Structure 1
Amino acid sequence: MLSNFAATRARRGRFRRNERQRLTSPPEDVEIERTGTPRSTLLDLEETETVTDVILVHGAWTDASVWHPVMARLWADGHEPTAVGLPMTTLDEDIAWTRRELAGRDRPTILVGHSYGGMVISAAALDHQHVAGLVFVCAYAPGPTDTVATLAGRGREMPGRKAIRFSSDGWTSVAPQGFVDSLASDLPPATARVLAASQRATHSDCLTGAPGAVAWDGLPCRYIQTLDDHMFDPELQRRFVERVNAERVELPAGHLVPLSRPDEVAAVIRGMAANVGGR
């Protein structure tokens, strides 16, 4: 297991050019390796216990507000959702921030990650007795040494990847029109423009960091695959489904599916909570 898991590695000062090139280079003909072990639930739930707590983790170039429509629906169902606002400085710091939110939990909790958020929840759930399951929303499901940069290179070249802009200080953003066309492709134009203009900068260390250890091989998983995604190759998503042995839900939606299809996303989370709560 990963020792001193929440500690931050001091990597932020140097921008790693070779990983940046991998993020924008043509796809590699590499298969996703399955590192999972036979399915076993880390948390033993009483048959009558209901999972109500849900922690939602956003992706790159967005913030916790992408979960607001989903949260409203979960509250209406009697769940207690919390959306984590990540610092987006390094993967380690984002994992640590999520584990801080988990630290105060004393009842079963579902972790949900969107896009880059899948990197975070895969590691944040490690060795935490109250995590009951993981939901990946068009999200990365890494192995211990995988990064967003290396994983993205194993899928098709997507239009959104060409819109990523790298600053000399290591921070990244998405060109406004590229954001509208790729991340927010199925949202109303006015909404898409607002999101593009208020996007959260993401440091390249988030995209080049590896988790070191992951928890999905010991937890029940569900995966929402977005078939009309212009940012994240749907076929690569399918391979993540297979990797984590997840129950899959396909949606004809774009990348920001928590905003465009909140009813369906909430239903998947609700179903996961009911499924693990009835074990």
Structure 2
Amino acid sequence: MSDKPTIVLVHGFWGGAAHWANVIVELNKRGYDRIRAVENPLTSLADDAERTRKMLRQVDGPVVLVGHSYGGAVITEAGGLPNVKALVYIAAFAPDAGESPGQLTQEMPPAAFDSIAPDSDGYLWIKQDTFHESFAQDLSAEDALVMAVTQKAPLASTFGDAVTAPAWRDKPVWYQVSTEDRMIHPDNERRMAARMNPRGTVELAAGHASLASQPRPVADLIEEAARQTTG
């Protein structure tokens, strides 16, 4: 087994751990043999943060904690554990104390905001007929179709859950901006990144699902964080 850190990946709304598939394969090719992907319930920020903490506590040794989309809020809330050495945000929310993903979205609405629709049970979905153009316009129609059909809807109330103690205030941070993002406004991503004073920022000409469409540069950023914080 290598001396590289464990990489823990945290998904966002409308997907599960498998959204990281391409990044997992790319990291493994680079010698990262300890990779975990959290499967969050998407029932509340508290639930998702605790699920992530449970996985982090199972890891022996240093961790690079990576979040995509709403997963950024989860790693912000859960990343204060001592074995977490770096936080990496992939087109992700990075709320400050008292802020929620919903509040940040309303301050700077993204292009595809109207594609999000609630159902009668209190869950939020991306409309299937606009999923490709909204979430993953730089993926093939077939890949986007699978994402649309298998999307994991969050409870709508989760969107309004606020962060309590942001881990990025005490941990080294890296951030990837998706310049063609239609689910989080690219300027919102830039704003959230800038206030964290990241050690590294990269902008990719990608939609929201950059983890699927551009796994190599995403893995580059994760690897940079791993090298700078864990040797």
Place the TM-score, normalised by the shorter chain, in its bin. over 0.9
Structure 1: 4+ residue segments shifted above 6 A = none
How do residues 180-195 of structure 1 correspond to structure 2 at under 5 angstroms?
180-195=132-147
Matched residues in 2 for 1:75 and 1:194: separation? 24
Q: Residue 167 of structure 1: CA displacement?
A: 2.0
Corresponding residue for residue 245 of structure 1: 197
Secondary structure of 1:159's counterpart equals coil
**Preserved CA contact (<8 Å) 1:52 1:78:** no
Corresponding residue for residue 59 of structure 2: 105
Corresponding residue for residue 68 of structure 1: 21
Matched residues in 2 for 1:192 and 1:123: separation? 29
**Preserved CA contact (<8 Å) 1:51 1:110:** no
2:42 to 78, 88, 94: 88
Corresponding residue for residue 166 of structure 2: 214
Corresponding residue for residue 129 of structure 2: 177
Corresponding residue for residue 151 of structure 2: 199
**CA displacement, residues 219-261 of structure 1 (integer Å, 9 cap, x when unaligned):** 1100000001111111010001111111210100110001000
Q: Residue 178 of structure 1: CA displacement?
A: 2.0
Q: Residue 110 of structure 1: CA displacement?
A: 0.4
Corresponding residue for residue 266 of structure 1: 219
Q: Which amino acid aligns with 1:97?
A: R
Corresponding residue for residue 121 of structure 1: 75
Equivalent pairs: percent with the same residue?
Answer: 35
Aligned residues: 228
Q: Which amino acid aligns with 2:118?
A: F
Q: Residue 51 of structure 1: CA displacement?
A: 4.0
Matched residues in 2 for 1:236 and 1:134: separation? 18
Secondary structure of 1:202's counterpart equals coil
TM-score (norm. length: structure 2): 0.95
Higher Rg of the two aligned structures: 1
For structure 1, the 5+ residue unaligned runs are 1-48
Secondary structure of 1:211's counterpart equals coil
Matched residues in 1 for 2:39 and 2:161: separation? 19
**Preserved CA contact (<8 Å) 1:123 1:215:** yes
**CA displacement, residues 26-73 of structure 1 (integer Å, 9 cap, x when unaligned):** xxxxxxxxxxxxxxxxxxxxxxx9542010001101111110111111
Corresponding residue for residue 85 of structure 2: 132
Relative to structure 1, the CA distance from residue 237 to residue 205 in structure 2 (aligned partners, 3 Å threshold; closer, same or farther) is same
For structure 2, the 5+ residue unaligned runs are none
How do residues 137-156 of structure 1 correspond to structure 2 at under 5 angstroms?
137-155=90-108
**Preserved CA contact (<8 Å) 2:7 2:63:** yes
Matched residues in 1 for 2:146 and 2:167: separation? 35
Matched residues in 2 for 1:169 and 1:195: separation? 21
Q: Which amino acid aligns with 1:206?
A: T
**CA displacement, residues 91-144 of structure 1 (integer Å, 9 cap, x when unaligned):** 110000000000112211000000100000001112x11100000001011111
Higher relative helix content: 2
Secondary structure of 1:245's counterpart equals coil
Q: Which amino acid aligns with 2:184?
A: F
